[in-house]
Amino acid sequence: MNDTSVPILEIDSTEAVLARLTAEWDELTPEAQKAARYVLDNPQDVGVSTVREIAEAANVKPNTVVRMARQAGFEGYEDFRAPFREAIRTGTVDLGDRARWLQEIAKSGDLGGLYADMVGAALKNVQDSFANLSVDQLEAAAKAIWNSRNVYTMGVGVNHTNAQNFTYLASTGMVGFHAIPKAGSTAVDDMAWADERDVLIAMTMRPYRREVVDAVNMAVSQGMTVIALSDSPASPIIRAAQHGFIVSVETPQFFPSSVGTLAVLETLLSFVISVATSEIVDRVETFHQRRTDHGFYEEDPS
């Protein structure tokens, strides 16, 4: 794509700009993709950074950033960043109290700094993950899940447990949920007979796991609805999905955080229950009554 092949657009929100970048991703040059990835991952920097600062952070030349902006439908970088500057001007987020609380934690001893860093990262991951969501997004994905025949939930590595947890909770009130890959199997085998009546919920964070990307591509080829959770709008599974959710996984430690992922999955499940028919309430009550009848729960003395 050349600089003039995209018509100049009237875009007045940061969400619209980011959506436009994602839509044009495959048409960008590799260098322009580097710039776009930085913008998608760090939209908070755009409104306060010059074209040279963005270029330096993305490790590209300034004219590459300008070219990216033009390919996304803007006359230049200044027009491109205007919605981001407006968002800053009208912003009302106040994190003062939280910052003071974390500073007090950091003074509590030798490990206080680590504690404060971990608490701060966990809170920020949840906040940033939900900042990327909307009610309409969640409702659309929830309806796709409820109206499907089968739901396959896939995560490997640390996300294997996240997928298992979502499937377990969903199965207390619904049937047709499968955490994949199953023991002794592969995702390709597990979804061999899936089609447009089925949903794949897939999750992977950088470095993206090839088997998850391959499973998403397979699901798309079979007409399945794909719901993806990943850490960037530029993630290959987000770009392939009909419903994409960006979660924050930052942490001061080596292992990526699952706090944001779990929060989004729990919220998505609550939306599924909300859009479901009334029979789901009876199913959940029956599930827990059977557990009670079989002595699963310790009696509460109170």
Is 300 part of a structural domain of the chain?
no
Q: Supply the pLDDT for residue 75.
A: 87
Query: Which positions ≥6 away from 245 have C-beta within 8 Å?
Result: 129, 132, 133, 137, 141, 227, 228, 229, 230, 264, 268
**Torsions phi, psi for 141 (to 5 deg):** -65, -40
Q: Helix, strand or coil for residue 256?
A: coil
Low-confidence winner among 14-28, 111-125, 196-210, 270-284 (lowest mean pLDDT): 111-125
Domain total in the chain: 3
Q: Which of 36, 102, 115, 107 is nearest to 73 (CA)?
A: 36
CA distance 66 to 87: 21
Q: Helix, strand or coil for residue 61?
A: coil
154 and 257 housed in the same domain: yes
73 and 140 housed in the same domain: no
pLDDT at 141 over 70: yes
280 and 185 housed in the same domain: yes
Write out the residue range of the structural domain in which residue 110 sits.
101-131
Contact 225, 243 (CB under 8 A): yes
pTM of the model: 0.73
CATH for 34: 1.10.10.10
Low-confidence winner among 83-97, 168-182, 276-290 (lowest mean pLDDT): 83-97
105 and 244 housed in the same domain: no
Q: Which of 265, 194, 254, 195 is nearest to 229 (CA)?
A: 265
Q: Supply the pLDDT for residue 285.
A: 79
266 and 160 housed in the same domain: yes
Q: Supply the pLDDT for residue 279.
A: 79
Is 196 part of a structural domain of the chain?
yes
288 and 139 housed in the same domain: yes
163 and 141 housed in the same domain: yes
Contact 22, 233 (CB under 8 A): yes
82 and 163 housed in the same domain: no
Is 1 part of a structural domain of the chain?
no
pLDDT in tens, 56-108: 999 999 999 999 999 888 888 888 988 887 776 665 334 445 555 556 656 66
**What mean pLDDT is predicted for residues 19-47?**
89
CATH for 280: 3.40.50.10490
Domain boundary among 63, 90, 117: 90
264 and 223 housed in the same domain: yes
183 and 288 housed in the same domain: yes
Copy the structure tokens of residue 87: 């968002």
254 and 109 housed in the same domain: no
Provide the sign of the torsion angle of the four alpha carbons 288, 293, 297, 302, taken in this order.
Answer: positive
Q: Helix, strand or coil for residue 113?
A: helix
- How is the beta sheet containing 199-203 ordered, strand by strand? 177-180, 151-155, 199-203, 225-230, 243-246
pLDDT, mean over the chain: 85
